[in-house]
Structure 1
C-alpha cells in the first residue's frame, strides 16, 4: 500500500483533492488530503509543513510500516513539498502545475524570478483574452472544470489566503526524493511551455503533460490519479514530454 500526501495550493483547501482521493483509495492505497492554515497571517511555509507532517503521522498511526510514500503538491503547494518530503523521508515527489522552488527562495521571489506573470500574459494575448483584467477565476482556473464541480467549489466560499507566506523562505539544500513534474496542457495560469522550461532549468527534468487546466485535480481526476499511481509503481510509467 502506497501513501499519497496531497498538498493543496493557495487557499489551502483539502477539498481540492476530493475527486482524486477516491481514485487512489479504490486501488487500495492511503490518500491524505491536507487542510493548510492558509488564512492564518502567522503561518509560514514551516507551519504548513508541520501541518502536513502531523496529518501524515496521524493517518499512518498504528498502520504497518513499508510501502511507497509520495508527497504531491499543487501550485503554491510546491513550496511546501521539499520541507515535508525531507521530514517524512518520502520516496517520491510529484509537482502538479506547481511552483518549483530553488533552495532559500520565497514564493514572492519565485514570481519575480520565474517570469510566470509574463508567460501568463503572453498566453492570454495568443488566445485573444484580456491581459489587463487581472486574475479572473472562471477564465484562469475553472474554464475546464465540470459545471457541477464549479458549483460545489463556489459553495466552499472565497479561499482565504494570507499574503505573509509569500515572503517565507523555503529552506532546503537539495530535493530529498526523485521529482515527477506534471502539467496541464490547457493551464492558463502557469502555461505549459513555461512549466516545461521551469522543470528543465530548475530540476533538469522532463514534464508529464495531461489534458486540463490549472485545477487539474478537479477537471481530470482519473488521469491525474493514474500518473500518481504510476509514480508509486502501481501502473505503467507515464510518458514524458
Structure 2
C-alpha cells in the first residue's frame, strides 16, 4: 500500500544506543518500503560540523544512503539541535536538504512540513536565540574553530538550554495557534506536519470555515514515533525501544 513516512526528534547520541538501535532497525525494516522518508529535524542531539569524525554519524549516513539508493528518497529539514548539518553530510547520506518551511505534494494534497520551532512564538527568548544562530557569518566563524572548541561550546549551550527550560512556563514552549493559522494560510494548505514540541497528536480544527489538520510528531526518548500517511489514511505509530522490550 502506498505510504510516506515522517520522523523527527530522535536526538541521536552516543549516550542513547537504544535510540540508535531503534532508528537503524527502522531504516532497515520499514523505510525501504515507503514512497519517501521525511526527517523533520533534531535527528541528532547536537551537530558541530560535517567534519566531526564520529562513528554514529557514519552509521546514520550509511543507513540513509542505503535507503535512497534502494528507491526511497530521503528528505531533511533542519531542527534546532542540528541546524548546522551541511551539504557534505547530505551528500554522504544521499539525502536532500529542504528549506525550513516547505510545501510537498502528498498524494495530490499540498502539505506544509517544518521542524516546528518557528511556531513557538510565545517563547521570545528562544526566538531571539534562533535568529542569532541562523546568521550565516556566525555559522561560518563557528565552523572555523577547532573541533574541540566547537564541542565545548555545544556542551555549554545545551547546559544553558536545559536550565532555561526549567524556569519557563511549559505553555510558552508549545506552538502559538495564531502562528499556526498564519503559516497555513500563507502556504495555502489544509494540513501541517511538524515536530519539535514532543507532543505527538493529530489536531483537527476549523480554519477560515474549512476543516484542517495539524499532525505533530513525537520524540524518541521513551518510544519511537512514526507518522505514516497514505492516499486515504494517516496514522501516528509508536515503536518500542530496545531497553523496554
Normalising by the smaller structure, the TM-score range is 0.3 to 0.5
TM-score by length of structure 2 reads: 0.35
Bigger radius of gyration among the two = 2
